[in-house]
Protein backbone atom coordinates (compact mmCIF):
# COMPACT_ATOMS: atom_id res chain seq x y z
CA UNK A 1 0.00 0.00 0.00
CA UNK A 2 1.32 3.36 -0.98
CA UNK A 3 1.16 6.26 1.44
CA UNK A 4 0.72 8.51 -1.58
CA UNK A 5 -3.09 8.64 -1.61
CA UNK A 6 -3.15 11.16 -4.45
CA UNK A 7 -2.10 8.36 -6.83
CA UNK A 8 -5.40 6.52 -6.27
CA UNK A 9 -8.86 7.55 -7.46
CA UNK A 10 -10.52 7.08 -4.04
CA UNK A 11 -8.54 10.07 -2.74
CA UNK A 12 -9.93 12.43 -5.39
CA UNK A 13 -13.46 11.03 -4.95
CA UNK A 14 -13.31 11.76 -1.21
CA UNK A 15 -11.63 15.15 -1.57
CA UNK A 16 -14.06 16.43 -4.22
CA UNK A 17 -17.08 15.34 -2.19
CA UNK A 18 -15.83 16.91 1.04
CA UNK A 19 -14.76 20.15 -0.65
CA UNK A 20 -18.18 20.53 -2.29
CA UNK A 21 -19.95 20.06 1.05
CA UNK A 22 -17.63 22.49 2.87
CA UNK A 23 -18.01 25.07 0.07
CA UNK A 24 -21.80 24.76 0.30
CA UNK A 25 -21.71 25.28 4.08
CA UNK A 26 -19.23 28.19 4.10
CA UNK A 27 -20.17 29.89 0.83
CA UNK A 28 -16.47 30.16 -0.11
CA UNK A 29 -13.81 27.70 -1.27
CA UNK A 30 -12.43 26.16 1.94
CA UNK A 31 -8.93 25.09 2.89
CA UNK A 32 -8.25 21.50 3.97
CA UNK A 33 -6.50 21.41 7.35
CA UNK A 34 -6.27 17.65 7.89
CA UNK A 35 -7.61 14.40 6.45
CA UNK A 36 -7.60 10.82 7.66
CA UNK A 37 -8.44 7.94 5.31
CA UNK A 38 -9.11 4.41 6.54
CA UNK A 39 -9.08 1.71 3.88
CA UNK A 40 -11.34 -1.20 4.74
CA UNK A 41 -11.86 -3.55 1.78
CA UNK A 42 -10.25 -2.29 -1.41
CA UNK A 43 -8.88 -5.70 -2.46
CA UNK A 44 -5.53 -4.19 -3.39
CA UNK A 45 -6.46 -2.47 -6.67
CA UNK A 46 -7.24 1.00 -5.21
CA UNK A 47 -9.48 1.89 -8.17
CA UNK A 48 -13.12 2.34 -7.23
CA UNK A 49 -16.05 1.89 -9.63
CA UNK A 50 -19.82 1.70 -9.09
CA UNK A 51 -19.78 3.36 -5.69
CA UNK A 52 -21.92 5.54 -3.45
CA UNK A 53 -20.39 8.41 -1.45
CA UNK A 54 -22.04 9.60 1.76
CA UNK A 55 -20.78 12.63 3.67
CA UNK A 56 -22.08 14.27 6.80
CA UNK A 57 -21.13 17.24 8.92
CA UNK A 58 -20.17 16.05 12.38
CA UNK A 59 -19.30 19.46 13.88
CA UNK A 60 -19.33 23.02 12.62
CA UNK A 61 -18.18 26.32 14.06
CA UNK A 62 -17.95 29.79 12.56
CA UNK A 63 -14.70 29.03 10.73
CA UNK A 64 -14.13 25.24 10.86
CA UNK A 65 -16.06 22.16 9.86
CA UNK A 66 -15.52 18.45 10.60
CA UNK A 67 -16.75 16.11 7.84
CA UNK A 68 -17.09 12.32 7.89
CA UNK A 69 -17.26 10.50 4.53
CA UNK A 70 -17.86 6.89 3.50
CA UNK A 71 -17.43 5.19 0.14
CA UNK A 72 -19.88 2.30 -0.11
CA UNK A 73 -20.02 -0.54 -2.63
CA UNK A 74 -22.75 -3.21 -2.44
CA UNK A 75 -23.82 -2.02 1.04
CA UNK A 76 -20.26 -2.40 2.36
CA UNK A 77 -18.15 0.50 3.59
CA UNK A 78 -14.83 0.17 1.79
CA UNK A 79 -13.30 3.54 2.73
CA UNK A 80 -14.02 5.91 5.60
CA UNK A 81 -12.54 9.35 6.00
CA UNK A 82 -12.65 12.28 8.38
CA UNK A 83 -11.40 15.78 7.70
CA UNK A 84 -11.27 19.29 9.08
CA UNK A 85 -11.76 22.30 6.81
CA UNK A 86 -11.58 26.04 7.41
CA UNK A 87 -12.95 29.10 5.65
CA UNK A 88 -10.22 31.22 7.24
CA UNK A 89 -7.75 31.07 4.37
> What is the tens place of the pLDDT at every residue in 41-70?
666 655 667 788 999 999 999 999 999 999
Please report, for the chain, the start and end positions of each structural domain, with discontinuous segments joined by +. 5-86
Task: Determine the pLDDT at residue 44.
Answer: 60
Identify the residue with better confidence: 80 or 40: 80
Identify the residue with better confidence: 79 or 57: 57
pTM metric for this prediction: 0.82
The CATH class that applies to domain 5-86 reads: alpha beta
Full DSSP string of 13-35: HHHHHHHHHHHHHHSS--EEEEE
Q: What angle do CA 13, 15, 18 make, to 5 degrees?
A: 105
Amino acid sequence: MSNHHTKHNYYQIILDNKEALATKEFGVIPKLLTINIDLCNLDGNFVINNFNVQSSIEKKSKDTIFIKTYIIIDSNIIVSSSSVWTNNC
